[in-house]
Structure formats: C-alpha cells, structure tokens
C-alpha cells in the first residue's frame, strides 16, 4: 500500500501550533511597537523579523515531515551534531560579547543565534536514541541497564559524558534557565525510559529535597554572602528578588516587582490589547522573559488561562503520540519533545510569578526570538513525522491481518 503522508497529518498538533504562532506575532507587535515608535523605527520591525523566522520554520516543518525517520537513528550523524554543538557553545562562551550578564549568543552580521536553544532538541534526540536501544536491558535490569553497572562513565564516548559536557558549557555561560530545562527534560526522559515506576517518586523527592535545601541554605547564610562564591554572583540578585522583590525595587527586585504590578493591573479581563503600562520601560525583558506578565496585563487572567490551556493541549497531544507509539525511539522522542515544552512553560511561569527564582527563560511562541520559535518548530516537525509513520505502520498491520484472514 502506498500511503501518502499528507493524508496522515496530525491536525490536533498542527492547528494549535499555527494558532500559537499567530498569537505570538500579535503579542510581539503589542509588546514592541510602542518602544520602536519611540525610537523612530518601524513599529512592525520586530514582527517582520519574527515572521521571517516563522516562514523558515514552516519550510523546515514541511522538509522534516517528508524525511524518512531512519536518519535520526544514525549514531554517526548524532555524534557529528554533538561535536558541532560543543564547538558552538565554546565559541559563544569565550569569543562573543556579554549580553545581560551571559555569553550565549553568536552574531553573524544581521543574524544571531543561541546554541543553547538548539541543545534542547539535541539532548532529546540523544537520549531517545540511547534509551530506545536499551529497552531489552532495561526490562531485565531496570535502572542498572542505564548506568551500565557503573555510576560514573568510564569511556569518553559514553552518552553521559556528552550530556555532562554540554550541560556544563551551557551553565558556564551562565545560562541557568536553559540548563535547568535541559536537566529537567533529561530526568523526565530517564523516568519514562521504562525503569521501575518507584524511581519516579525517588528522583522527584531527591530534586525537591536538594532544591529546598539549597534555597534554605541561601536564606540562612544570606544572598550577599552566597554571592561571594565563584560563579554564584550572577544568580545572587535573582535569589534576592525571589526572597523579597520589594526590598530593592531599583535593582534586584525591579523585574519581579513590576511583573507583579503587570499581573495585578490585568485583573480578570485585562486592560486591552496594546494598553499595557509596564511594557513602557517599567518592566525589563517585557518582550522575552516576562512577556506572559504583559499578556496577563493586557488580556487578563481569563485570556492568559485560555492561552495556557491551548499550550497544554498542544503538549498533551504531543505526549499522546509518544504514549501510543509502538517504536521505542518514536515514543521516547515524542515524550522528550513534550517534556521539553512543559519544562519551559513551568520554568517561565514559575519565574514571573515568584514560585521559583527567575532564570531568564522565554515563553514558547509568545516571546520575541526567532531561535526559540525555530527550535520549537523543528521539534514539532519531528513529532508530526513520527505520528504519521506510526499511523502508516498501524494501517499496514491492520491491512496485513485482513489479508491473512482472507487467505485463510
């Protein structure tokens, strides 16, 4: 049977993606147009830039959707991509200018990109390929199959070596936001790899315990004293704002306090699209990290809940593809993409609401940033391809059963 992929397209994923992308363009215009007009620039400048990235993203989705998934299972290709990513992260750290306290952007003329954004998909790809090949061992030996009998890797080409190097390079920039998303995604993929369910509660308890102990230690010792520790100085202000954003409204607590003001201004129904007060120079990063605060201010709690519901619906549909998939690699890949998006939403919303310390993570689709949109689009393209292949295989299996029945 010759089944065309265009007839197997999952519209329950594609349509929410398109809606969120269009909403993103509207939000970007709303959050950027006023400042662009103030500086005498084209108010559509940011929307045009984002729109160009969206067009590239749509082309990428169409291209990836037509590919055979076998290329993702080639270890040599993955190894090459990992080494390129390591080189790009090193260049971003040591050979670029600092932006907002971090070295994470590579600028090439009018274009710029952030290697850490693309690492999120690479980690999902790497872990999906690794765990899918270990399914039989995991069934027999549980988590010991993943550790290969050793807690620490003994070979350089061990997947754990690659993961540690990549995560440390991102954290050293320092980009603790993306590093957190990558670590949380990796942990989630470990827990859904087939290991015993009891390890889920154990790992969750460990994460909560370590995080709580670190926050408690910081509160006990004091942020100023913790800031003297090497590397920690970058996040000291964020912890200071986390404990009490109103203590220093002109410095460390400025962002989070104004994020609270924006959400308070929005109320139930918002001030109206384009009528935000905080975006007019009061709330820094209102177009990226804190864009959802502006969304709440303009569209209100009801509008924000609708957008969150749409995002969670998209994530749920992606994860359902992974749950239903018969092929272990397809299952792990889809679940990894869904986990990556879920963790990004959690870290962003947690940061702007003060539930967790702010880490400078963008909100999917709504934040200004072509790299983030492109990465999300590539990840969704993989899921669409996986879903189409799984549907085709299922149809072929059913057709074969019918043929065998007729022959009997």
Tokens of 276: 């935000």
pLDDT at position 354? 81
pLDDT at position 60? 94
Tokens of 283: 């709330």
φ/ψ (deg, to 5) at 3: -95, 125
Q: Which residue has the tokens 């102990």?
A: 213
**How far apart, in Å, are the Cα atoms of 48 and each of 5, 24, 78, 193, 370?**
31, 12, 33, 41, 11
**How far apart, in Å, are the Cα atoms of 75 and each of 222, 231, 239, 289?**
47, 35, 41, 35
Cα separation, 13 vs 318, in Å, equals 7
Q: How is residue 99 annotated by DSSP?
A: B
φ/ψ (deg, to 5) at 109: 65, -125
Is-contact 382 337, C-beta < 8 A? yes
Maximum C-alpha span of the chain: 81
Task: State the angle between helix axes of 176-191 and 328-353 in degrees (0 to 180), rounded to the nearest 10.
Answer: 140
Is-contact 310 303, C-beta < 8 A? no
How buried is 404 (Cβ within 10 angstroms: 0-12 exposed, 13-18 middle, 19+ buried)? exposed
Cα separation, 369 vs 117, in Å, equals 11
Cα separation, 251 vs 235, in Å, equals 13
Tokens of 333: 């890949």
Beta-bridge mates of residue 111: 108
Rounded to the nearest angstrom, the gap between the alpha carbon of residue 54 and the centroid of all alpha carbons in its chain is 17
Closest C-alpha to 92, from 110, 121, 117: 117
How buried is 5 (Cβ within 10 angstroms: 0-12 exposed, 13-18 middle, 19+ buried)? middle
Tokens of 405: 């029945």
Is-contact 121 376, C-beta < 8 A? no
Cα separation, 361 vs 366, in Å, equals 12
Whether residue 337 has a cis bond before it, omega within 30° of 0: no
DSSP assignment of 301-312, as one string? HHHHHHHHHHHH
pLDDT at position 159? 67
Cα separation, 161 vs 78, in Å, equals 14
3-state SS of 235-276? HHHHHHHHHCCCCCCCCCCHHHHHHHHHHHHHCCCCCCCCCC
Mean pLDDT in each 10-residue stretch from start to end of the chain (408 residues)? Answer: 75 95 93 87 90 94 90 87 90 78 75 85 91 79 61 56 84 82 88 71 68 63 56 61 72 81 89 87 84 92 94 96 92 93 92 81 89 93 93 81 69
pLDDT at position 151? 45
Cα separation, 343 vs 362, in Å, equals 11
pLDDT at position 172? 81
Tokens of 400: 């074969």
User: Model pTM?
Assistant: 0.87
49 Cβ neighbours under 8 A, 6+ residues apart = 370
pLDDT at position 377? 95
């Amino acid at each position: 049977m010759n089944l065309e992929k265009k007839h197997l397209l999952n519209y329950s994923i594609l349509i929410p993606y398109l809606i969120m992308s269009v909403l993103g363009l509207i939000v970007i215009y709303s959050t950027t147009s006023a400042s662009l007009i103030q500086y005498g620039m084209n108010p559509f400048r940011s929307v045009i830039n984002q729109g160009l990235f969206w067009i590239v993203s749509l082309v990428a989705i169409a291209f990836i959707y037509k590919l055979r998934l076998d290329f993702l299972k080639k270890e040599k290709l993955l190894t090459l991509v990992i080494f390129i990513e390591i080189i790009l992260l090193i260049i971003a750290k040591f050979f670029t200018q600092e932006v907002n306290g971090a070295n994470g952007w590579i600028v090439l003329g009018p274009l710029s990109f952030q290697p850490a954004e693309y690492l999120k998909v690479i980690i999902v790809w790497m872990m999906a390929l690794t765990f899918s090949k270990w399914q039989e061992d995991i069934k027999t030996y549980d988590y010991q199959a993943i550790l290969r009998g050793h807690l620490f890797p003994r070979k350089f080409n061990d997947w754990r070596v690659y993961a540690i190097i990549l995560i440390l390079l991102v954290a050293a920039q320092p980009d603790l936001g993306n590093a957190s998303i990558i670590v949380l995604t990796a942990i989630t993929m470990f827990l859904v790899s087939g290991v015993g369910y009891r390890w889920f509660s154990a790992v969750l308890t460990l994460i909560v315990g370590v995080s709580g102990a670190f926050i408690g230690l910081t509160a006990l010792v004091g942020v100023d004293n913790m800031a003297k520790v090497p590397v920690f100085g970058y996040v000291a202000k964020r912890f200071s704002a986390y404990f009490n954003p109103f203590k220093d409204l002109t410095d460390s607590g400025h962002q989070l306090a104004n994020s609270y003001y924006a959400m308070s201004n929005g109320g139930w129904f918002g001030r109206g699209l384009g009528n935000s007060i905080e975006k007019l120079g009061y709330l820094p990063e209102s177009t990226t990290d804190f864009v959802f605060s502006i969304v709440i201010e303009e569209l209100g709690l009801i509008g924000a809940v609708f957008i969150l519901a749409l995002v969670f619906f998209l994530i749920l549909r992606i994860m359902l593809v992974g749950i239903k998939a018969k092929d272990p690699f397809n299952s792990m890949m889809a679940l990894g993409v869904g986990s990556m998006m879920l963790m990004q939403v959690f870290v962003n919303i947690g940061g702007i609401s003060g539930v967790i310390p702010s880490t400078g993570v963008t909100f999917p689709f709504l934040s200004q940033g072509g790299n983030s949109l492109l990465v999300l689009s590539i990840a969704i393209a993989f899921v669409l391809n996986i879903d189409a292949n799984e549907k085709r295989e299922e149809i072929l299996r059913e057709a074969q059963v019918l043929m065998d029945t007729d022959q009997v």
